[in-house]
């Protein structure tokens, strides 16, 4: 099964409108269909991309997935950060649905992690986030950004707090939270719904982030129309090189940013052992030879199972000093020597008492 969910939001009619996200979504759909044979593709565009709709669509994306399947989630729109009580860097990365209210109408990186952790090991899950602060969007343990010899990291610059670009033909996909929201969160007057999970998505999920966690992603005018710099670099490369590996793809995307003088640096998160695998293709079974259900105990190959036996109960009271007597049994059929001596003494004592009283 090859299934995808694509979300694109331009925020038309708002004070923070973008111009290239719908184009990104359409370009991704076209590429997945023509180059990779995806037939199940759900699109959420503009006003349809509400918080509830995105969360429900993510649930549908992963439902029924099994080993050998390939799933893709692509998002183009605004990204942002909010103060966090559980993140190591004290910031919670979020994407911004069309109905964002900065409290419960947000989609956090912890929600992504909680959702995608339900995907069985052995399913190729590729997440592409073309928005600001997208790096570490799944809170994975391993991350990679290639170092390029010509990477001078200069060119388009953005103001962090306004999200405005120095170059008027390039916009930022950063939506700053209202200052009163930041103040309320920091003073504990406003609760952001965060999720934590003991599971992770380190084994089979790959995140292609448009930029590093501290960077913004460009909404740029490229080749005659507005589109995301990261999505453009990705789709253009894969149209010509559909058998590209993940590490080759992220290297080409970074080289594109350097050549076009964008400051963002795309990032690849996920297991290093998957970097050389082909983009969107099923993981080789050799990488996951044994997949054990989470609720089932693992049994060593060739081993056997045994039913644990209860330890013997300690004797209590009279049982401790008279070993021939046991619970639910009068006298043991096997009497040891100390027991026989004890019984003989008791009999003698009883006879002495009996005849001595006469």
Catalytic residues: 78, 132
Task: Provide φ and ψ at 236, rounded to 5°.
Answer: -65, -40
Quote the tokens at residue 278: 């082909």
**Are 95 and 129 within 8 A, CB to CB?**
yes
| Cα separation, 73 vs 109, whole angstroms | 14
Task: Provide φ and ψ at 251, rounded to 5°.
Answer: -70, -45
**Are 177 and 94 within 8 A, CB to CB?**
no
Determine the Cα angle at 200 with ends 198 and 204, to 5°: 155
What residues contact 82, with CB distance under 8 A and at least 6 apart? 91, 92, 94, 102, 106, 177, 181, 182, 185, 192
**Are 213 and 136 within 8 A, CB to CB?**
yes
Q: How many angstroms from the chain centroid is the CA of residue 17? A: 29
| Cα separation, 228 vs 221, whole angstroms | 8
Nearest to 98 by CA among 32, 175, 38, 192: 175
């Amino acid at each position: 099964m090859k299934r995808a969910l694509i979300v694109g939001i331009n925020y038309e009619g708002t004070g923070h409108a973008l111009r290239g996200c719908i184009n990104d979504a359409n370009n991704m759909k076209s590429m997945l269909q023509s180059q990779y044979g995806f037939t199940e593709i759900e699109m959420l565009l503009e006003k349809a991309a509400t918080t509830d709709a995105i969360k429900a669509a993510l649930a549908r994306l992963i439902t029924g997935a099994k080993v050998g399947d390939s799933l893709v989630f692509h998002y183009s729109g605004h990204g942002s950060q909010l103060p966090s009580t559980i993140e190591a860097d004290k910031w919670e990365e979020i994407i911004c649905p069309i109905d964002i209210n900065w409290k419960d109408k947000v989609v956090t990186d912890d929600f992504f992690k909680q959702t995608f952790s339900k995907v069985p090991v052995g399913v190729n899950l590729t997440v592409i986030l073309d928005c600001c602060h997208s790096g570490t969007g799944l809170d994975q343990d391993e991350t990679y950004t290639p170092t390029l010899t010509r990477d001078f990291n200069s060119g388009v610059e953005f103001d962090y707090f306004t999200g405005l670009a120095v170059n008027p033909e390039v916009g930022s996909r950063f939506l700053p939270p209202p200052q009163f929201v930041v103040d309320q969160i920091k003073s504990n007057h406003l609760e952001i719904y965060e999720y934590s999970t003991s599971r992770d998505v380190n084994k089979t999920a790959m995140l292609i982030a448009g930029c590093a966690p501290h960077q913004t992603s460009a909404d740029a005018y490229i080749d005659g129309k507005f589109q995301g710099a990261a999505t453009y670099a990705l789709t253009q490369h894969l149209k010509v090189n559909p058998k590209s590996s993940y590490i080759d793809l992220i290297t080409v995307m970074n080289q594109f940013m350097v050549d076009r003088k964008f400051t963002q640096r795309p990032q690849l998160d996920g297991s290093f052992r998957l970097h050389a695998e082909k983009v969107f293709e099923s993981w080789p079974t050799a990488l996951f030879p044994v997949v054990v259900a989470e609720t089932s105990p693992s049994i060593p190959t060739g081993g056997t199972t045994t039913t644990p036996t209860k330890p013997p109960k300690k004797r209590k009271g009279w049982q401790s000093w008279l070993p021939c007597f046991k619970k639910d049994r009068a006298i043991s059929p096997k009497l040891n020597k100390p027991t026989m001596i004890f019984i003989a003494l008791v009999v003698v004592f009883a006879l002495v008492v009996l005849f001595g009283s006469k």
